[in-house]
Amino acid sequence: MARQSLANYVKTEDWFTFTKQSFEFFQPYFEIDYPFKKYDQILVPDFNAGAMENVGAVTFNDSYISRGKKTQAQRMRLANVIAHELAHQWFGNLVTMNWWDDLWLNESFATYTANLALAENSEFTTAWENYYLGAKQWAYHTDQRPTTHAIQLPVNNTDEAFANFDGITYGKGGSVLKQLPYYLGKEEFRKGVNNYLKALSYDNSTLNDFINHLGKAADKDLNSWQQHWLYQAGLTTI
């Protein structure tokens, strides 16, 4: 849905193609059919964010509408945000983090799986190269500033939570999650995610719930990994 003054400029073929491809990837990946009764995508004037994953109705900033022909980079960005918000329908809506200190996990997981979906089930087979040049560089730059922080840190209120929408929350968190399928095994990681979603459907969860399900699926203790990668700020050095 879009306002009438911009409706003629919406490239519906792209929107429906990218959305269908995301559904085709996520439903078998999570082993859970889309959990809600409908799925709307609503382009909102003057929306104060890129997009937001309300249950069954994602709101998008209408800057995603181009009056002219989109570049390939713009099309990839649109495909990415569609996949990102759809991933949240499972990871974020079907299972919701209990408190803002796990906001990074909610966003980083959608960031990681959106790029995975693009790389494996879309025309954008260079999604990971694009991720490295964009989100990961953002993470590196943010992590070298005096204002950097650990990925996981205490959050006392919503003001603190929104101050942490940065390169650590999205870029570094997504990069750290990308390690886990290599460390645990791709299928073990996927199975851990599936078990987590099934065990906590329509419930609240914590980082430890997620980590414990991954570790159990791969038969590995992730405590040391968790302490090194999630609770320390700054770039790793040799």
* Cβ-contact 93, 74 below 8 angstroms: no
Question: pLDDT by residue (tens digit) across 70-127?
Answer: 999 999 999 999 999 999 999 999 999 999 999 999 999 999 999 999 999 999 999 9
C-alpha atoms less than 13 angstroms from C-alpha of 6 in its C-beta half-sphere: 18
- Catalytic, out of 13, 31, 53, 85: 85
* Cβ-contact 229, 150 below 8 angstroms: no
CA 165 vs CA 77, 100, 102, 189: distances in Å: 18, 11, 12, 26
More confident residue, 136 or 238: 136
- Report the C-alpha gap between 92 and 109 in whole angstroms: 9
pLDDT classification of 161: cutoffs 50, 70, 90? confident
pLDDT at 57: 98
What is the CATH architecture assignment of 71-230? Orthogonal Bundle (1.10)
129 assigned to active site: no
- Give CA angle at 234 (228, 238), nearest 5°: 70
> Residue ranges of the domains in the chain?
71-230
